[in-house]
Amino acid sequence: MTQTDAKPAASGRRESRKMSRTHAALLEALLPLLEEKAFEQITVREITARAGVGYATFFRRYPDKEALLHDLAAQEIQNLLTMTLPIFHTADTTASTEALCAYVWKHRKLWRALLTGGAAATLKEEYLRLALLVAEEQMDTDAWLPVDLAVRFCVTALVETLSWWLKHDAPPDVHVMAGIVNRLAVQPVFLPAD
């Protein structure tokens, strides 16, 4: 390899690291803004100022702020999937649903924005997509309910139940909500076949 061949490769790696840092900075800037105000009130200028990223740089990465929110949603879904996977590998699903509800409640402003704002449909579809990928590898294929239907049911029930919780004027506490999620979204899938 010549010295001129090495320069473009090194330049490409630097550009990739810079894009990765930009991506992380934008996501990290959006999180506290969502804690402060509704997504509709947040501007791209506020996001870029908080991230220390140029306004034009934002648009090289994302077409609009909704695309950034969708990226954040995908990251949060990964966190949620990590918590929900144990549900499918244990007879006692209560601990997993409590962990899930505690996480959502701790980050409720973000999850309220994700579940009740413009990213709700995208969040649900992405959650379904990722959950189906994981389920195909890990779920019991001898279960009474087809795996893809079980996942679709659980995700839909979970998203709708959490949305209700986060919109509610007098929401149940985490423990009560975990029981509701467990009974509505999880236990029906594990009922024995007749």
pLDDT tens track for 157-182: 998 999 999 999 999 999 999 999 99
Q: Which of 81, 180, 68, 62 is nearest to 126 (CA)?
A: 81
SS3 content of the chain, % helix, strand, coil (to 5): 80, 0, 20
Question: Which pair of tokens denotes residue 176?
Answer: 């009560």
Q: At what angle do helices 94-106 and 174-181 cross, to 10 degrees?
A: 130
In this structure, the answer to whether residues 9 and 92 fall within a common structural domain is: no
d(C-alpha 37, C-alpha 44), whole Å: 14
Last residue of a domain, one of 62, 90, 110: 62
Centre a 10 Å sphere on the Cβ of residue 37 and count the other Cβ atoms it contains.
Answer: 12
In the structure, what pLDDT confidence band is assigned to residue 194 with cuts at 50, 70 and 90? low
Give the global pTM.
Answer: 0.72
In the structure, what pLDDT confidence band is assigned to residue 101 with cuts at 50, 70 and 90? very high
**Count of domains for the chain:** 2
Last residue of a domain, one of 35, 62, 89: 62
CATH number at residue 106: 1.10.357
